[in-house]
A = this chain, B = another copy of it.
Amino acid sequence: MPSTENNMKKIAFLGIPGSFSFIAAKKYFGNDVSLTGQKTVKNVFSTLIQRQTQLGVVPIENSTTGSILETYDQLMENNLQICGEVRLKIHHNLLVLEKNVNLKDVFKCYSHPQGIIQCQKFFENHTWIEPETVGDTATAAQMLASLKSRNAIAIASGQTAKIYGLQVLTKNIEDNKNNFTRFAVIRLEKNQSGNKATIAFSVKHIPGSLFKAIKPYADLGLNLTKIESRPIFGKSWEYIFFIDFEIGTDLTKFMEMIKRMRKVTDTVTILGLYDKGKIYET
């Protein structure tokens, strides 16, 4: 008797249940999918290449730490495609084992290094609580749950609290309220439509080469929403640029831009054509 799970889409995500990639996958795909956590961005790509999964969800940009270059590297190396985007507004919550835990009894706080950096005011006001960094916020929650300690807390999202049976003591303790992470939904096949595109191009290191390369987008009136150069350290005279555009619904302008760019660059690679992602709260 076939179970419904066999018919479910298989999605790889970065981390363990409760990670931000997990939350992004849930927001994008809903509940009727089979999610499988992976230790590294590379492993998410591997499951797709080996066709163990049909789609993957990985972080691609963070408002605090910038682009996730590991994701760009994997896209370049494996020729996979971005087919969707999710934007999460990151909130940090104080998770405790039980609601009646008293912060005066707490001496340890687990979180991802960024979780700790982004909640400096909390640590300034609770100097007796020592931050301890772990790999990610979901692992911090998992650790607290398995330790069953009333002397420790974790900084993670509210959804993660639910997964590990923890309680939220204080919501939104982050210093900066404008903390976003963008996630890319990836797969092997290209999308045929979308209102946004991510491309990579390379130029020789000569004055004006970047300028010439982006002239076509300006001439055609397309909206650039992100640009980043990546020095190829082994080849000290070459650069890769990653660019995001909003391209509207008419693909002809975009294809014309790619055509013009190819004339003034060494290589142009389309990393994805997809719809701009909605913003979700965590």
Taking a contact as CB atoms under 8 Å apart, the answer to whether B229 and A229 are in contact is no
Taking a contact as CB atoms under 8 Å apart, the answer to whether A70 and B63 are in contact is no
A206, B225: Cα distance in complex, Å: 10
What 0/1 readout, one digit per residue, does chain A (216-228) give for beta carbons within 8 Å of chain B? 0110011111111
Is A165's beta carbon under 8 Å from chain B? no
Chain A interface residues toward B at CB < 8 A: 40, 42, 63-70, 113, 117, 120, 133-135, 177-180, 205-208, 210-212, 214-215, 217-218, 221-231, 233-234, 241
Residues of B within 8 A of A180 (CB): 233
Q: A211-B214, A231-B226 are in contact. Are A67 and B70 (CB under 8 A)?
A: no
A88, B103: Cα distance in complex, Å: 42
Q: List 11 A-B contacts (CB under 8 A).
A: A66-B230, A133-B134, A178-B234, A180-B233, A205-B223, A207-B223, A211-B217, A211-B218, A212-B218, A227-B227, A228-B228
Taking a contact as CB atoms under 8 Å apart, the answer to whether A40 and B117 are in contact is yes
Taking a contact as CB atoms under 8 Å apart, the answer to whether B207 and A222 are in contact is yes
Minimum CB–CB distance from A264 to chain B (whole Å) comes to 12
Minimum CB–CB distance from A49 to chain B (whole Å) comes to 16
A263, B135: Cα distance in complex, Å: 46
Closest 7 CB pairs of A and B: A211-B218, A208-B218, A178-B233, A178-B234, A207-B221, A227-B229, A66-B69
Minimum CB–CB distance from A124 to chain B (whole Å) comes to 12
Taking a contact as CB atoms under 8 Å apart, the answer to whether A231 and B223 are in contact is no
With A40-B117, A65-B66, A66-B230 given, name 13 new contacts (CB 8 A).
A65-B65, A65-B69, A66-B67, A177-B234, A178-B234, A180-B233, A207-B222, A207-B223, A210-B224, A211-B211, A211-B217, A212-B218, A227-B241
Minimum CB–CB distance from A43 to chain B (whole Å) comes to 10
- Which residue on B lies nearest to A227, using beta carbons? B229
Residues of B within 8 A of A135 (CB): 113, 133
Residues of B within 8 A of A226 (CB): 229, 231
Minimum CB–CB distance from A216 to chain B (whole Å) comes to 10
- Among B113, B221, B231, point to the contact of A208 (Cβ < 8 A): B221
